[in-house]
């Protein structure tokens, strides 16, 4: 069986252990630039996948990240960062990595070959039609990752396949495929290098695009940031300062009334009442710009009213229909 492109040894680097350190570094830096170029070439596919994900996640479904080894750790990292950065609800995130939580820190022998365990994980976590499954594997053939994607798709989940080898099952069977043509690695088979960089960039672009489309960014600012530590509290305050120009005392008071919600605090600082601000955000599906356009002045009375919602089926992070999520084979974290 011929090796995949990411496993193939490049004659160019056959004597790399004899090179000067500066030459080795230059070769590896060149490889990183080629990873960026591979992502740029895949931009149309990333866009299509992002639009499809946004449509599916208007409902109460979850984002499910799947992978093994380096790909799994990169996938888990991207998913975990959505919570503090964009306020993505914990119960709408599911991270499945071959070998479970232990695999985040060290290699778990044979875990990537456990296709039956992958199927059981998908079933145990009841992945279904409301959910989006993003499966990542440099080879495009990893048994655990492929089995997760197949079972999730069988159960109705929207599936996204990300791989670095053309024409592989992960790309062929996913609803939306993202092929990252990074070629052979500087160190043959070490897909933590070019392939990993391309995957990391792709996941960041894809998830960030989805979060923007879902209204979790306003004027280039993270208006759904979760103030879970002092740094993020200060960030929330700075965001409101930039958007409103108000003083620290007013901003602090608004954040308290808004229970830490930057979006709600912003509307309060604009003079809107708490009830009407909450109703507008609810009807706008959390989109701050749309919520503002929902609240209009009545010229004859000076009172504001809330218009009908922009679109049906708009859902929100506090939806009581949100499904449970977990990490690895331990199942749901309640």
Predicted pLDDT of residue 105: 80
**Which region among 12-16, 108-112, 306-310 has the lowest average model confidence (pLDDT)?**
306-310
Give all domains of the chain, ordered by start, each with its CATH number: 11-214 (3.40.50.10490), 230-306 (1.10.8.1080)
CA separation for the pair 272, 294 (Å, rounded):
12
Residues annotated as catalytic are 81, 112
Assess contact for 280 and 291: CB atoms under 8 A: yes
Assess contact for 67 and 135: CB atoms under 8 A: yes
Burial class (CB in 10 A: 0-12, 13-18, 19+), 49: buried
Residue 156 vs residue 313, higher pLDDT: 156
CA separation for the pair 75, 23 (Å, rounded):
31
Q: For residue 266, what are the contacts with CB-CB under 8 A and spacing of at least 6? A: 223, 240, 243, 244, 254, 288
321-332: pLDDT as tens digits: 332 333 443 343
DSSP tag of 183: -
Q: Which two tokens stand for residue 282?
A: 């609810």
Q: Are strands 295-297 and 304-306 parallel, antiparallel or unpaired?
A: antiparallel
CA separation for the pair 30, 52 (Å, rounded):
33
CA separation for the pair 26, 24 (Å, rounded):
5
220-243: pLDDT as tens digits: 999 998 777 888 889 999 999 999
34-84: pLDDT as tens digits: 999 999 999 999 999 999 999 999 999 999 999 999 999 999 999 999 999
């Amino acid at each position: 069986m011929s090796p995949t492109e990411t496993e193939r040894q490049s004659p160019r680097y056959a004597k790399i252990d004899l090179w000067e350190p500066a030459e080795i570094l230059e070769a590896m830096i060149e490889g990183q630039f080629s990873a960026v170029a591979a992502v740029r070439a895949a931009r149309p596919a990333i866009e299509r996948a992002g639009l499809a994900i946004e449509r599916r996640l208007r409902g109460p479904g979850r984002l499910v990240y799947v992978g093994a080894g380096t790909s799994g750790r990169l996938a888990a990292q991207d998913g975990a960062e959505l919570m503090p950065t964009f306020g993505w609800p914990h119960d709408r995130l599911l991270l499945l990595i071959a070998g479970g939580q232990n695999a985040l820190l060290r290699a778990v022998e044979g875990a990537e070959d456990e296709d039956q365990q992958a199927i059981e994980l998908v079933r145990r976590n009841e992945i279904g039609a409301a959910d989006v499954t993003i499966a990542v594997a440099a080879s495009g053939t990893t048994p655990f990752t492929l089995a997760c994607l197949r079972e999730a798709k069988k159960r109705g989940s929207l599936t996204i396949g990300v791989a670095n080898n053309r024409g592989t099952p992960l790309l062929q069977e996913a609803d939306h495929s993202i092929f990252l043509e990074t070629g052979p690695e500087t160190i043959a088979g070490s897909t933590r290098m070019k392939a990993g960089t391309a995957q990391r960039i792709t996941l960041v672009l894809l998830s960030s695009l989805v979060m923007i489309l879902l209204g979790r960014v306003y004027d280039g600012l993270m208006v759904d940031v979760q103030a879970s530590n002092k740094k993020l509290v200060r960030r929330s305050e700075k965001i409101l300062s930039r958007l409103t120009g108000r003083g620290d005392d007013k901003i602090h008071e608004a954040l308290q009334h808004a229970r830490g919600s930057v979006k709600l605090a912003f509307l309060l600082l604009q003079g809107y009442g708490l009830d009407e601000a909450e109703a507008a955000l609810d009807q706008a599906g959390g989109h701050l710009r749309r919520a503002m356009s929902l609240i209009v002045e009545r010229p004859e009375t000076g009172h504001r009213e809330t218009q009908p919602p922009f679109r049906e089926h708009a859902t929100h992070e506090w939806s009581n229909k949100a499904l449970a999520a977990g990490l690895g084979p331990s199942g749901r974290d309640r």
